[in-house]
Structure 1
């Protein structure tokens, strides 16, 4: 039986964020550690989003559900817009003296080699695992408005917008995977194996990017800086600590991304995003 979508309708929001070279280098409350962590995550997105789009495109021909086909269109549009905005974001990082391009090219080479070594089903399984990571982190942003409360406006907006859409389309790749791999046992083993491997690789690159950019600003040998990073991720607010149990949920045999239903939080943030244009259209961008 072909998979039926459990996802929701998507609304791509064509936001344009204007990063300028004179913006604060430490945009997260003047804190270099928090700033470089989120910058490190931004480095992942242009090539990561392309990987996601390709993996879903590879298997969409197996999808018979017209609702899911429409959601795939929305997913591809949202991911393309995320890619565009993070390319601009990362150009700003280069202008500020960070090693953004070098790190981008290293990740691009890795993902290119990975695609040659794994089949299209496993490529989609990796995408599902990575989409779960982005969905978990997005959920924390949606539920806790204080996460970016001290961030400069433009960066707060780009991460809020991105989190909203990651939450919105979190089930699309997964539903496509259900159609691509109908055998339940094979599918379960494949997605669990992908999550284990992806968790290691994802966090390796995050730490590598963070460490490299800490070196760019001269704090990579500072025990205090690394301690502050550990406190930020594991203490308070504890971004990684708070996603641990949702991460474990992925290994449940009957798991689906929409088991974590955060539509109420999404609706609240969606109203916030919509208000940007009414209040400050120049900063929010235009829906061209």
Structure 2
């Protein structure tokens, strides 16, 4: 007798809290002249960050997928699938934002290529070391995302034309913040690899990002405007400011008991899921989904 019982459906990313949301952001025909607090220096820092996301997220996905066959737990496999899908969509939407920045006159291809080259250097290390470096960079993006969502500072400073894209990206970075590290745990974390990841990432991606930002500042003539430079530096790295807060939390990655979920952001994630994708969510209308289905 043939067994015709249906096989259990394989878990998907949406089943484990990491839904791939297909979005259609409506970027304006022209971006605001200076989208971060009307300051050129800070705006170009934001443009640099957007530029480096596509090559960075491609590296993240490849470093995790390299060990996908070692993941036997069904739930973690679904989390990896959700992580991969979210990162692919992030790259696509930042490509679109980067095109808008180029139309605005910012040569964001320079920081993008610089970071892509830096990641090729990281790609010469062992697959294990690449995964450790990805775990560190995912820790950075998670801390960055939490800071964006935890206060209204970012929303007040960044022009509404592009702010929603960053809020959506920040939410999804928190939703999948522990996936890379959990795959790393499957293959066995190594403290020396984690410690090495800091100088490796700083000496490659960090240097490339700073170079890309500096290039934009020179190309846009901002280097001749000391008042703007001082104010932009204060907005990004001054006492109590955005990037100063983020960088202050990075060293926890090297603690022997580090795990992304030891810092609980579930309530923050749920609040922003409802804010962005609930019944009255500000981004609900941007979702592309089959009729009758609602993805949050």
2:107 corresponds to 1:104: no
Task: Please give the alpha-carbon distance, in whole angstroms, between the structure 1 residues aligned to 2:33 and 2:208.
Answer: 22
The one of 98, 101, 111 aligned to 1:93: 101
Task: Please give the alpha-carbon distance, in whole angstroms, between the structure 2 residues aligned to 1:280 and 1:188.
Answer: 41
Q: Which runs of 5+ in 1 are unaligned?
A: 1-7
- Say if 1:17 and 1:154, in contact at 8 Å, map to a contact too: no
Task: Please give the alpha-carbon distance, in whole angstroms, between the structure 1 residues aligned to 2:148 and 2:116.
Answer: 27
* Aligned twin of 1:177: 184
Q: Deviations over 1:98-139 (max 9, x none)?
A: 111233223223322431x21111111111011011011111
Q: Deviations over 1:44-95 (max 9, x none)?
A: 1010000000001101111121111000000000000000001111111111
- The 4+ residue runs of structure 1 with deviation greater than 6 A are none
Q: State the secondary structure of the residue aligned to 2:76.
A: helix
2:271 corresponds to 1:268: yes
* Aligned twin of 1:250: 253
2:287 corresponds to 1:286: yes
- Say if 1:16 and 1:286, in contact at 8 Å, map to a contact too: yes
Task: Please give the alpha-carbon distance, in whole angstroms, between the structure 2 residues aligned to 1:97 and 1:154.
Answer: 17
Residues 75/218 of structure 1: CA separation in 2 closer, same or farther (3 Å cut): same
1:185-264 residue pairs with structure 2 within 5 A? 187-235=190-238, 237-264=240-267
Task: Please give the alpha-carbon distance, in whole angstroms, between the structure 2 residues aligned to 1:252 and 1:14.
Answer: 36
Equivalent residue pairs, number: 274
- Say if 2:53 and 2:91, in contact at 8 Å, map to a contact too: yes
When Rg is computed on C-alpha atoms for both structures, the one with the higher figure is 2
Kindly state the Cα deviation for residue 280 of structure 1 after the two structures are TM-superposed: 7.2
2:142 corresponds to 1:135: yes
Task: Please give the alpha-carbon distance, in whole angstroms, between the structure 2 residues aligned to 1:45 and 1:9.
Answer: 22
Q: Which runs of 5+ in 2 are unaligned?
A: 1-15, 290-296
* Aligned twin of 1:35: 43
Task: Please give the alpha-carbon distance, in whole angstroms, between the structure 1 residues aligned to 2:213 and 2:185.
Answer: 34
Task: Please give the alpha-carbon distance, in whole angstroms, between the structure 1 residues aligned to 2:55 and 2:279.
Answer: 28
* Aligned twin of 2:293: none
Residues 38/276 of structure 1: CA separation in 2 closer, same or farther (3 Å cut): farther
Residues 195/277 of structure 1: CA separation in 2 closer, same or farther (3 Å cut): farther
User: Which range moved further: 72-81 or 102-111?
Assistant: 102-111
| TM-score, normalization by structure 2 | 0.85
Task: Please give the alpha-carbon distance, in whole angstroms, between the structure 2 residues aligned to 1:84 and 1:194.
Answer: 27
Q: Does 1 or 2 have the higher relative contact order (CA < 8 Å, sep 6+)?
A: 1
The one of 33, 39, 42 aligned to 1:25: 33
What value does the CA root-mean-square deviation take over the aligned residues?
A: 2.1
Q: Deviations over 1:149-199 (max 9, x none)?
A: 23222311011000101111110001011112x2x5xx1110121023213
2:60 corresponds to 1:59: no
- Say if 2:274 and 2:281, in contact at 8 Å, map to a contact too: no
Task: Please give the alpha-carbon distance, in whole angstroms, between the structure 2 residues aligned to 1:242 and 1:59.
Answer: 33
| TM-score, normalization by structure 1 | 0.87
- Say if 1:55 and 1:120, in contact at 8 Å, map to a contact too: yes
